[in-house]
Structure 1
Amino acid sequence: MTDSAPTSAQLLTIGELSRRSGVPHTALRFYERQGLIHSRRTTGNQRRYDRGTLRRIAFIRASQHTGVPLAVIGEVLALLPAGASPSKEFWERASECWSKEINARIARLERMRDRFTRCIGCGCLSFDECALVNPGDALAELGPGPHRLLRS
């Protein structure tokens, strides 16, 4: 016995997918344009989605809630075989990746907090000297005033 394409009764309309996933139609269309989900078209050009799309949407939304950018989510989803839904093992592997990214983001935020705390302790609040407010200001070395204005 060979696998056959799902019947129309087994496919979801965009409205059904929206209701079941809690994701607005507009977001579903956006996900599709980004290649995160896929639909089939009826002869009347209406979108129809496999039921497995619900798992993909759950994965997308959970990943977004952890702060993972859609571009990165798309890269990970691209590792799935065509038409496959994220499995438990897939979620676990992605979770390991997300954990590394989240830990790196936490470390960056902690460094920012520490720099800000040092800045408050310094008390300078100077746009001319403060490395936090004005980092890497090469023009400050030229002294005060505008240095990019054309002089006649």
Structure 2
Amino acid sequence: MADLTIGELSARSGVPASALRFYEREGLIHSRRTGGNQRRYDRTTLRRIAFVRASQSVGIPLALIRDVLGFLPEGAPPTKEFWQRASRCWSEEIDARIAKLERMRDRFTSCIGCGCLSFDECQLVNPADTLARRGPGAHLLDATARPAPRG
């Protein structure tokens, strides 16, 4: 079977050519170059792209995706067993993201109760602007942050 051009790979995968070039720069996919310096992709690259897109859809960062794809031999497509292993590796990461989103939802809901919508001025969430001592940023939305002490 013939290799795919970047245009063919883009059409088959539904991923723009610019994103494919980015994926290649990031080490997520690989190509070979023709004598005319054109990219050619093995057809197994379609499965790698599907793996990348599916992983991204559940919030896995590209750096982690690249690390896991590094366990595959070059040119080998992700198998069912590979997908299951990656899923097991990422369940803690996904569970942590779910917990963070739940905390954000709960904090947002409690903040809306007063109607001020201001973390700087809110007397329920940030009395006396105690969070200012922690520096800039959304400390209450950070998974590791603790609520400000109520005084």
- Name the counterpart of 2:84: 92
What's the counterpart of residue 147 of structure 1? none
Alignment of 1:10-29 (within 5 A): 10-29=2-21
Q: Secondary structure at the match of 2:126?
A: coil
Which amino acid is the alignment partner of residue 16 of structure 1?
Answer: E
| CA displacement, residues 10-59 of structure 1 (integer Å, 9 cap, x when unaligned) | 21111111111111111111101111000000001011111110110010
| 1:1-152 to 2 correspondences below 5 Å | 10-121=2-113, 125=118, 127-128=120-121, 130-131=125-126, 136-138=131-133
Report the identity percentage: 68
Q: Give the letter for the 1:79 counterpart.
A: F
What do you get for the CA RMSD once the two structures are aligned? 2.4
TM-score normalised by structure 2 residue count: 0.75
Give the secondary-structure state (helix, strand or coil) at the position aligned to 2:29: coil
Which protein shows a greater Rg? 1
Q: Secondary structure at the match of 1:136?
A: helix
Unaligned segments of structure 1, at least 5 residues: 1-8, 140-152
CA contact (8 A) 2:4 2:43 kept: yes
State the distance in 1 between where 2:130 and 2:23 align: 37
Instruction: Give the superposition deviation at 1:116.
Output: 2.6
Change (3 A) 1:103 1:40: same
Q: Which amino acid aligns with 1:131?
A: N
Alpha-carbon distance in structure 2 between the residues aligned to 1:113 and 1:64: 22
Q: Deviations over 1:52-85 (max 9, x none)?
A: 1011001001111111111111111112122221
Shift of 1:115: 2.2
Unaligned runs of 5+ in 2: 135-151
Aligned equivalents of 2:119 and 2:24: distance in 1?
A: 48
